[in-house]
Structure 1
Amino acid sequence: MSEKELLNVKDLVVDVEEKEILHGVNLTIRPGETHVLMGPNGTGKSTLGYTLLGNPRYTVKQGEIWFDGKNITAEPVNERAKAGIFLSFQNPLEVPGVTLSSFIRNAVEQKTGKRIRLWEFKKQLEAAMELLDMDKSYAERDLNVGFSGGEKKKAEILQLLMLKPKLAILDETDSGLDVDAVRTVSAGIREYQKNSEGSLLVITHSTKILESLPVDYTHVMVEGKIIKTGGAGLVDEINESGFAGYEAEEHR
């Protein structure tokens, strides 16, 4: 594991529509590491993900976000994406009129700043779709339009495999997936890490997807603060006891 810091979040305070949601979050992720952020619903986990990507709805009131040695606190979404940050949304958007293939090809070219030959792109795309057990016809369908929940999640992991970001933030990626789909998506995530040595921040209140992913660090977030950090064993502890004890501790 590298000693270099890829992501360094320092004392982050974030407002959403003038309501403070994150209250001094600190988080460090190094290249190749898998971090899990767990906590009850509505505690600020997704807010952290959207803030790291630079969604303008989320206002940083205090603190800094450093990525790959650069302060990106004020950088727009497109610059963060070019730098290598990827967010898999909890509820992926439908984009009528834009095919999955053209969306991904444009995103790859935007990230790299280079044109990619069509035949070369199609070859890479089809290989990634095969890994995810996706029908190749989906490449020419409008992005997420008429896709099931599982198909939308697979389409996002397809983007992950093609874009090869330095940091992938997966927000409730296993939500609504059956056991087979979780296995397929997990295989895609492992392939991404193997081929690009990418880092993961897995945001979840469940543990299904973690059963087949190696976890380096687990963080518990309660009421907008990370109140405990541990290893993979912390996932098992939460599985057994839930978050009630952490919530009670925070209110003492």
Structure 2
Amino acid sequence: MTTFEIRGLRADVIISEDERKEILKGVDLTINSGETHAIMGPNGSGKSTLAYAVAGHPRYEITEGEVLLDGENVLEMEVDERARAGLFLAMQYPIEVPGVSMSNFLRSAVTAVRGEAPKLRAFSKELQEAMKAMAFDSSFAARGVNEGFSGGEKKRHEILQLELLKPKVAILDETDSGLDVDALKIVSEGINRAKEANGMGVMLITHYTRILNYVKPDFVHVFAGGRVAESGGPELAETLEAEGYERFVKVGA
């Protein structure tokens, strides 16, 4: 059983050398193995800041609180150590890495997380199976990471990484944004496969309920004003779909 705990987390975004702004204002959240927690809320509420601060993005400075993965404070770890400990972030805007093939990138990532290089033939088979499941043609293995990929292909590549790295906890930052219906189904199926295979916990950040039709949440949290403003079951997402975030915007202002 894995437990991922965010306790009293406060964080600033560094705007410039002389300017910063507090975004996270005391976040408390606990995710256990096999649970899916949907984080919903209006633009500017701090959802993506939460994801990047926990993952260790240098633009965000944590000023208070702790983040525990099975009792270990990940905030004391370097970014690569957090990944090896079992933390995964699927980015909202995946970047291109020209000159580095997808296959080399993924084998290097798998080697770093697993602690040893997989045998080439075994990894090639594993990669091809995972690519097929994510609807990638085998030719993509030789292409630069995300180079010339469509938005949907970039998001599918994020979930391909998820399936190969087998984290304990996955933070998915608006993985559904910009996806058409077919891509949304493929991405959702990949998330569900990884969750079922590894029993990982999922923090799913999203604006909309459409992905929740495919990736069923156990808990829904409304994020507003840099903190969790309300929590509930899947029915809370339906309420948000019907009523919007207006009352939470007023609270967070």
TM-score bracket for the superposition, by shorter chain length: over 0.9
Q: State yes or no: 1:87 paired with 2:89.
A: yes
For residues 62 and 251 of structure 2, the distance between their equivalents in structure 1, rounded to whole angstroms, comes to 27
Query: For 2:65, which of 63, 75, 79 is the aligned residue?
Result: 63
> Displacement, 1:245?
1.8
CA contact (8 A) 2:134 2:186 kept: yes
Answer whether contact 2:34 2:196 (CA < 8 A) is retained. no
Match of 1:196 in 2: 198
Unpaired segments ≥5 residues, structure 2: 15-19
- Aligned counterpart, 1:142: 144
Deviations for 1:204-224, whole angstroms, at most 9, x for unmatched residues?
111221111121111101111
1:168 and 2:165 are equivalent in the alignment: no
Q: Cα RMSD between the aligned structures?
A: 1.1
Whole-angstrom CA distance in 2 between matches of 1:101 and 1:232:
38
Shift of 1:250: 4.1
- The residue identity in structure 2 corresponding to 1:41 is N
Find out whether 1:240 has 2:242 as its counterpart.
yes
State the distance in 2 between where 1:146 and 1:102 align: 17
Q: What pairs with 1:67-216 in structure 2 (closer than 5 Å)?
A: 67-216=69-218
Q: Deviations over 1:66-106 (max 9, x none)?
A: 11211122211111000011111000000011011111110
Query: 1:20 — aligned with what?
Result: 22
Q: Separation in 2 of the partners of 1:116 and 1:133?
A: 23
Return the alpha-carbon distance in structure 2 between the equivalents of residues 50 and 249 of structure 1.
Answer: 24
- Residue deviations 1:121-142 (CA, integer Å, cap 9, x gap): 0111111111111111111100
Length, aligned pairs only = 248
Which secondary structure state, in structure 2, belongs to the residue aligned with residue 73 of structure 1? helix
**Distance in 1, Cα, partners of 2:70 & 2:251:** 35
Comparing 138-147 with 240-249, greater Cα deviation is found at 240-249
**Does the 8 Å CA contact 1:219/1:227 hold for their aligned counterparts?**
yes
Query: Given that residues 224 and 251 in structure 2 are in contact (C-alpha distance below 8 angstroms), is that contact kept between their aligned partners in structure 1?
Result: no
Matched, 1:7 2:9: no
The amino acid of 1:174's aligned partner reads: D
In 2, Cα distance between the equivalents of 1:58 and 1:24?
15
Contact 1:5/1:69, CA 8 A, preserved across alignment? no
Tell me: CA distance 1:120–1:34, structure 2 relative to 1, closer, same or farther (3 Å).
Answer: same
Q: 2-side partners of 1:110 and 1:166: how far apart?
A: 15
The alignment's TM-score, normalised by the length of structure 2, stands at 0.95
Q: Distance in 2 between matches of 1:192 and 1:52?
A: 21
Identity %: 47
Distance 1:249 1:51 in 2: 23
| Conserved? CA contact 1:5–1:28, under 8 Å | no
**Maintained 8 Å contact 1:29/1:199:** yes
Partner Cα separation in structure 2 for residue 104 and residue 125 of structure 1: 8
**Bigger mean CA deviation after superposition, 155-164 or 5-14:** 5-14
Deviation, 1:225, is 1.2
Q: Structure 1 residues 29-38 or 70-79, which shifts more? A: 70-79
Q: Counterparts of 2:116 and 2:252 in 1: how far apart (Å)?
A: 49
- Does the 8 Å CA contact 2:3/2:31 hold for their aligned counterparts? yes
Q: Equivalents in 2 of 1:250, 1:149: separation in Å?
A: 31
1:50 aligns with 2:52: yes
Partner amino acid for 1:29?
I
Distance in 1 (alpha carbons) for counterparts of 2:174 and 2:89: 11
Distance 1:170 1:241 in 2: 24
Letter in 2 for 1:76: E
User: Aligned partners of 2:99, 2:203: CA distance in 1, in Å?
Assistant: 31
Find the aligned partners of 1:184 and 1:211 in 2 and give their Cα distance: 13
